[in-house]
């Protein structure tokens, strides 16, 4: 459920770091909690956004949630497919990334969780509900 | 068992009407319109069409409507009659010819001041969220006047807040910071104190909060805000729990919005019209929108002369018809009556909570105000809500507040008597039993309504917004 090659945030985003770029998406847990996703809003290419700041919105029938930058960077690509077909995020949240960024400060990656840490974090969250 | 009417009712323009006739009027041929794209129907066809639609609809005139945070109380028909008296007025009429209308507005301002303990009111905002936005513009103007707007960029709000609160603050250009709730379901005071400093513009809160819990530390909260030069904003959605008992002014609030269409019994739902007056106290009165209705001892007039006014926030003077209905409601009940409405709303809510709490989980503390939030034990909130429709009652608010998962937010209001509350409780208990013994009946509900379960996901992904798209 949580691939080994990704880094994770407490707000349930993942980042796949490749050189000085990273693809960003939402985790299996995030899409499961949201239920049927009906709308996705993403930033424009060229926008620079800091780590921890919201970069878009993911909406389900139940609620609307901001999605936050796992790492600081400039948006170099957005995945228009998920904007047209938001259900793709429910079908495969890892294949269907949201944005790609150029990293501003690659060291920030050290502050993110790995798959094992994130799995434990999600278990804790589930217990609290 | 309840069974809603069901007609296979066509759209108005699908009903076969009379052939278009040439209307004989003395107008040159070239000026005559050849066809008119509206249905050419007789009166009885139109009346039957809308009567059938109304039978497939649901409203507070049919049965219980416990929609939490919306205060769907019964709307007395007398209010409608009185509002009709004013229906031929025009907003451009001379002041001297509309003294009665201005008097209604003036008296409403004064009565709302007394109910909330505020010093001034604007009646312009068209609904609650518009009132909030107006309130945030007042916060902005106030800090700007004090020369502090540049550093006061943050509006704080609890994680149980109505969704419109962060939206209003953001639209007014503020950053939004969420303050967590503690295990009692109230604002975490330590977290609030830590987040408040000279960058704080305001704290927006409703009291009682969306869990129906009274924020007992409200005076302390006010102290924290004022010590830091920030303003305290009251979201009036839940005023029905405190009206006549305490007031936003007593609790230390600086700005208040009210929902006349909730607390003061004017019809709402389906998009309005609402009315969201905003009250302020102290020097904030100098920032209110113009015009304000005043009385010079002889006549009523519209005053455009407010020192630091933020300007107009609505065309003309707001939703006047709604004001008349609220005025009539307040006049008819009087101070004692309003207080009794509050007491009964809180009693009804707690009675209903006690009747069902063995069968539904009640998070946080026990005593509630005019509404309460429960979770089903063996079902999803959505399925319980859909099943309720089968019994001919409206579903409560679901999936809100966000801090309770699978929330059912129930607000019976003071309109209901013990019989209807007992009936509702028995239905809730039966549904809890069904969830255990026959969960399929919930998942496939509703069974007895004109329309069965609608596909909300498809509706959100591929919305059909006009009748032309229906094809």
Residue-range domain boundaries for chain B: 12-55, 77-333, 337-458
Query: Distance between terminal CA atoms of chain B?
Result: 35
Dist. CA B206–CA B369, nearest whole Å: 12
Whole-Å CA distances, A58 to A1, A27, A31, A78, B263: 20, 12, 9, 14, 33
Residue B401 tokens, joined: 């507040």
pLDDT band at B118 (very low <50, low <70, confident <90, very high): very high
pLDDT band at B372 (very low <50, low <70, confident <90, very high): very high
B-chain residues near A64 (CB < 8 A): 163
Count: domains in chain A: 1
Chain B: closest CA distance from residue A18 (Å): 33
pLDDT band at B37 (very low <50, low <70, confident <90, very high): confident
| ipTM field | 0.73
Dist. CA B261–CA B281, nearest whole Å: 23
Dist. CA B224–CA B292, nearest whole Å: 32
Dist. CA A2–CA B399, nearest whole Å: 27
DSSP state of B468: G
Partner-chain contact B457 A36, CB within 8 Å: yes
pLDDT band at B462 (very low <50, low <70, confident <90, very high): confident
Chain A: closest CA distance from residue B460 (Å): 6
What CATH number does the domain containing A16 carry?
2.40.50.100
- Helix (H) or strand (E) run with residue B201 in it: strand B200-205
**Residue A2 falls inside a structural domain:** no
Q: Is B337-458 CATH 3.40.50.2300?
A: no
User: Shortest CB distance from B399 goes to which of A38, A62, A86?
Assistant: A62
Dist. CA B105–CA B327, nearest whole Å: 8
Chain B: closest CA distance from residue A104 (Å): 24
Q: pLDDT value at position B97?
A: 97
Cβ–Cβ contact B460 with A under 8 A: yes
DSSP state of B187: B
**Contact (CB, 8 A) for B133 and B171:** yes
Query: Within 10 A of B403 (CB to CB), how many other CB atoms are there?
Result: 19
Residue B35: pLDDT over 80? no
Partner-chain contact B399 A63, CB within 8 Å: yes
Residue B448 phi, psi dihedral angles, 5° rounding: -110, 15
Tens of pLDDT, residues B312-323: 999 999 999 999
Q: pLDDT value at position B340?
A: 98
Q: pLDDT value at position B469?
A: 74
Nearest to residue A54, comparing CAs of A63, A46, A66, A62? Answer: A66
pLDDT band at B24 (very low <50, low <70, confident <90, very high): confident
**Residue A54 falls inside a structural domain:** yes
**Residue A73 falls inside a structural domain:** yes
Print the domain residue range for A81.
Answer: 7-128
Mean per-residue pLDDT, A76-103: 96
Q: Is B77-333 CATH 3.40.50.10540?
A: no
**Residue A39 falls inside a structural domain:** yes
Nearest to residue B143, comparing CAs of B280, B248, B249, B287? Answer: B287
Chain A: closest CA distance from residue B456 (Å): 7
Percentage above 90 pLDDT, chain B: 86
Residue A35 tokens, joined: 């239920």
**Contact (CB, 8 A) for B436 and B368:** no
Mean per-residue pLDDT, B267-272: 76
Dist. CA B469–CA A80, nearest whole Å: 25
**Residue A1 falls inside a structural domain:** no
Partner-chain contact B460 A39, CB within 8 Å: yes
Q: How many CB pairs under 8 A join A and B?
A: 17
Mean per-residue pLDDT, A76-100: 96
Q: How long, in residues, is chain B?
A: 471
Q: pLDDT value at position B17?
A: 80
Mean per-residue pLDDT, B295-306: 97
Cβ–Cβ contact B402 with A under 8 A: yes
């Amino acid at each position: 459920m949580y691939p080994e090659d990704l880094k994770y945030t407490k707000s349930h985003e993942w980042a796949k770091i490749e050189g000085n770029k990273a693809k960003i998406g939402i985790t299996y847990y995030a899409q499961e909690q949201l239920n049927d996703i009906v709308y996705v809003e993403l930033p424009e290419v060229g926008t620079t956004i800091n780590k921890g700041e919201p970069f878009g919105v993911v909406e389900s029938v139940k609620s609307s949630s901001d999605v936050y930058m796992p790492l600081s960077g400039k948006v170099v690509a957005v995945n228009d497919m998920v904007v047209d077909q938001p259900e793709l995020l429910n079908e495969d949240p890892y294949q269907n990334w949201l944005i790609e960024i150029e990293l501003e400060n690659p060291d920030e990656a050290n502050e993110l969780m790995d798959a094992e840490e994130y799995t434990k974090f999600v278990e804790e969250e589930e217990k609290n509900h | 068992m309840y069974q809603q009417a069901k007609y296979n009712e066509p759209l108005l323009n699908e009903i076969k009407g009379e052939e278009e006739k040439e209307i004989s009027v003395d107008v040159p041929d070239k000026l005559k319109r050849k066809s008119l794209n509206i249905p050419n129907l007789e009166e009885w066809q139109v009346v039957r069409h809308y009567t059938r639609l109304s039978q497939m609809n649901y409203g507070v005139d049919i049965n219980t409507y416990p929609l939490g945070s919306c205060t769907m109380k019964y709307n007395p028909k007398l209010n409608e009659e009185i509002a009709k008296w004013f229906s031929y007025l025009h907003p451009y009429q001379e002041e001297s010819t509309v003294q009665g209308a201005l008097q209604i507005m003036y008296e409403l301002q004064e009565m709302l001041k007394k109910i909330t303990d505020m010093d001034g009111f604007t009646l312009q905002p068209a609904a609650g969220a518009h009132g909030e936005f107006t309130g945030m513009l007042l916060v902005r103007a106030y800090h700007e006047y004090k020369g502090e707007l540049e550093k006061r960029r943050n509006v704080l709000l609890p994680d149980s807040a109505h969704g419109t609160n962060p939206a209003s603050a953001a639209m007014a250009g503020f950053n939004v910071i969420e303050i967590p709730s503690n295990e009692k379901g109230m604002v975490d005071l330590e977290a609030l104190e830590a987040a408040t400093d000279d960058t704080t513009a305001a704290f927006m809160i409703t009291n009682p909060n969306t869990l129906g819990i009274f924020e007992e530390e409200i005076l302390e909260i006010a102290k924290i805000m004022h010590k830091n030069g920030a303003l305290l904003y009251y979201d009036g959605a839940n005023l029905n729990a405190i009206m006549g008992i305490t007031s936003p002014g007593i609790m230390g609030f600086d700005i208040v919005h009210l929902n006349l269409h909730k607390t003061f019994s004017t019809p709402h739902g389906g998009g309005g019209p609402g009315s969201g007056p905003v009250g302020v106290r102290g020097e904030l009165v100098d920032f209110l929108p113009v015009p304000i209705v005043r009385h010079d001892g002889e006549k009523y007039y519209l005053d455009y002369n407010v020192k630091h006014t933020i300007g107009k926030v609505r065309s003309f003077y707001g939703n006047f018809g709604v004001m008349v209905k609220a005025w009539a409601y307040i006049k008819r009940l009087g101070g004692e009556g309003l207080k009794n409405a509050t007491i009964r709303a809180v009693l009804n809510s707690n009675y209903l909570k006690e009747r069902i709490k063995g069968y539904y989980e009640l998070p946080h503390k026990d005593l509630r105000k005019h509404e309460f939030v429960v979770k089903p034990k063996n079902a999803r909130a959505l399925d319980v809500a859909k099943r309720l429709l089968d019994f001919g009652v409206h579903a409560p608010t679901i999936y809100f507040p966000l801090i309770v998962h699978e929330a059912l937010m129930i607000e019976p209001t003071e309109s209901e008597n013990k019989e209807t509350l007992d009936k509702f409780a028995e239905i809730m208990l039966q549904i809890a039993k069904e969830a255990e013994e026959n969960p399929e009946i919930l998942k496939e509900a509703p069974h007895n309504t004109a329309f069965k379960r609608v596909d909300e996901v498809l509706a959100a992904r591929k919305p059909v917004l006009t009748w032309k798209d229906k094809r």
